[in-house]
Amino acid sequence: MNINLVEWQTLRPTEVDFLKGIVPTFDKRAAQTADELASSDKLEILQLRSGIEIRATSWVGRITLGDLTITVRPKIDGAPLLNLLRYAYSLRDLETFAPTGYETTTEAFQDLIVEQLANEATELISRGLHRDYLRFNAELASPTGRIDFAQVPYALAAAKSAVACTYYNRSDAVILNRVLLAGLRLAARASTDNQLTVRVFRLSQMLEDSVPAMQLTTAELDKASRAIDRRTTAYSSALTLIKILFNGMGVSMSEPGGAVPMPGFLFDMNVFFQALISRFLHEELADFTIQDEQRLKDIFEYEAANNPKRRRAVVPRPDFAVLSHGKVIEFLDAKYRDLWETSLPREMLYQLAIYALSKSTGQPSATILYPTLADDASEQIVLLKDPMLGKKRAEIVLRPVNLLQMDMLTRPRQGALVARQRQSFAHALVFGAKHVARTKLLASAVA
């Protein structure tokens, strides 16, 4: 049975007729995966007496559990989502991509990633794969390189016509090409579109002629990342996409054995939104210093005399700290949840209250940046007050980030006018639209 919903949506059997009376068939592995998804707050499937209830969060993609196939789609899709993904992860803007296929309602999110990876692989193959000198050890009838003289007596005793040699030769079998092949194989498994799967499979066949296969692991991905230099920068986008697929197709089980393959793909839009805001602020706020996930030390501390377990205190880390002349002026946290359409969860409020009270200079405040598609979304402020005196102690600002506007501003090859609009938008994200408008008014009055 196929079930479709969007991020942060909840389908209940009392509201959706086709969920009534459904009893999903889960084997042991599917049941364990469902429990792990629920405990990690990725996707929750509740089996009720009246049917099943499905609750989506910020994770999007498609997963199959037993006889259920669940597709979670992001609210923003098609070309705008592709452009924002390219911008957030510094992917190349390849003209070969045509987003019309993804704009249909049947496509899964992972097909967008797979399509982009196929385009990257096509570009790399057409321009010629990177080759480098690799070390080989082999028995050769015509010796080359360095002869292993320690093995010569054994070769003579066995009447062999070849001798062991160590030599170097230019080869396609470098780590980047091996990871690319493994990534294409992974993409073929993740794809839900038959034509796209065939295309990826053909690309992997083209590589198999000269590139040996390997098992994709975190260690191999890290090794490939370290191999990126000025000669191999063209592989950066493909490597980023492979990491997204690799991380989205594994689930950590509590049983021995660790992470196991997941029957599908799920991608955390929180990670994407934080990467999007991070790049935008770093590029457009040249007059300020942006620190990602700055550790706020000495806020919590176990009392030395009363810490028998020798445990370390929790260290809060806001997503962004905006500094001017070495002093923090704003704390920002990126939360991928539309707080214009939904209420503010208490855990977010408590977290931002800690950030606001930790500021040593200026007004005690902290800001949540959240995505929205609503044109009328505006800033909201929650006051943190003294319960006895009723005075304001700090404020938590809920500031919307219109993703469609962000898409327009981050498109490539735009002029000076859009560059000024980007800087104004970045200042509004940090200080608020009213503050930016007031600053512009004062500047025009002085002029």
pLDDT band at 441; cut points 50, 70, 90: low
| Residues of the domain holding 334 | 285-446
Task: Provide the 8-state DSSP code for 358.
Answer: T
Instruction: Report if residue 30 sits inside a domain.
Output: no
295 and 427 in a single domain? The answer is: yes
Task: Decide if pLDDT at 240 tops 90.
Answer: yes
**Contact by Cβ (8 Å): 355, 397:** no
pLDDT at 260: 59
**Strand, coil or helix: 235:** helix
pLDDT at 251: 53
**How far is residue 198's CA from residue 194's CA, in Å, rounded to a whole number?**
6
- Residue 146 makes CB contacts below 8 A (sequence gap 6+) with 165, 166, 167
Instruction: Report if residue 253 sits inside a domain.
Output: no
Task: Decide if pLDDT at 14 tops 80.
Answer: no
Q: From the CB of residue 28, how many other CB atoms can be counted at a distance below 10 Å?
A: 7
Query: Checking DSSP bridges between strand 132-140 and strand 68-73, what pairing results, if any?
Result: unpaired
Instruction: Report if residue 385 sits inside a domain.
Output: yes
**Contact by Cβ (8 Å): 349, 362:** no
Q: From the CB of residue 4, how many other CB atoms can be counted at a distance below 10 Å?
A: 15
**How far is residue 206's CA from residue 210's CA, in Å, rounded to a whole number?**
8
Task: Encode pLDDT of 75-95 as tens digits.
Answer: 888 789 989 999 999 887 765
pLDDT at 438: 62
**Contact by Cβ (8 Å): 111, 100:** no
pLDDT band at 436; cut points 50, 70, 90: low
Task: Decide if pLDDT at 371 tops 50.
Answer: yes
pLDDT band at 341; cut points 50, 70, 90: very high
Query: 11 pairs with which residues across the strands?
Result: 54
Task: Provide the 8-state DSSP code for 345.
Answer: P
DSSP track, 272-317: HHHHHHHHHHHHH-TTSEEEET---TTSS---GGG-TT-PPPP---
Instruction: Report if residue 262 sits inside a domain.
Output: no
- The two structure tokens encoding residue 87: 């911008």
**How far is residue 174's CA from residue 132's CA, in Å, rounded to a whole number?**
7
Q: Which of 123, 151, 171 marks a domain boundary? A: 171
Instruction: Report if residue 113 sits inside a domain.
Output: no
Q: Which of 141, 156, 171 marks a domain boundary? A: 171
Query: What are the E-state strand segments in 10-158?
Result: 10-11, 43-48, 51-56, 59-65, 68-73, 132-140, 146-147
pLDDT band at 255; cut points 50, 70, 90: very low
Q: What share of the chain is helix, strand, coil (3-state, %, to 5)?
A: 40, 25, 35
End-to-end, the C-alpha distance of the chain in Å comes to 66
pLDDT at 349: 94
Average pLDDT of the chain, as a whole number:
86
**How far is residue 28's CA from residue 39's CA, in Å, rounded to a whole number?**
17
Percent of the chain exceeding pLDDT 90 equals: 48
**Contact by Cβ (8 Å): 233, 331:** no
CA-based nearest residue to 144, from 169, 161, 172: 169
What number is the average pLDDT over the span 34-40? 87
- The two structure tokens encoding residue 318: 């806001």
Task: Encode pLDDT of 155-169 as tens digits.
Answer: 877 888 888 888 888
- The two structure tokens encoding residue 409: 């501003």
What number is the average pLDDT over the span 103-116? 74
Q: From the CB of residue 304, how many other CB atoms can be counted at a distance below 10 Å?
A: 7
> Kind and range of the H or E element at 395?
strand 392-402
What number is the average pLDDT over the span 355-362? 84
Instruction: Report if residue 251 sits inside a domain.
Output: no
Residues present in the chain in total: 447
Query: What are the E-state strand segments in 335-391?
Result: 365-372, 380-385
290 and 435 in a single domain? The answer is: yes
Q: What is the domain count for the chain?
A: 2
DSSP track, 243-272: HHHHHHTEEE-SSTT-EEE-SEEEEEHHHH
pLDDT at 257: 44
**Of 34-38, 248-252, 378-382, which gets the smallest average pLDDT?**
248-252
162 and 293 in a single domain? The answer is: no
**How far is residue 46's CA from residue 32's CA, in Å, rounded to a whole number?**
13
- Residue 47 makes CB contacts below 8 A (sequence gap 6+) with 23, 24
439 and 294 in a single domain? The answer is: yes
pLDDT band at 408; cut points 50, 70, 90: very high
pTM (2 d.p.) = 0.84
Phi, psi values for residue 61, rounded to 5°: 140, -155
**Of 176-185, 317-326, 412-421, which gets the smallest average pLDDT?**
412-421
Phi, psi values for residue 70, rounded to 5°: -110, 125
Instruction: Report if residue 45 sits inside a domain.
Output: no
pLDDT band at 390; cut points 50, 70, 90: confident
Residue with tokens 């700090």: 394
Instruction: Report if residue 407 sits inside a domain.
Output: yes
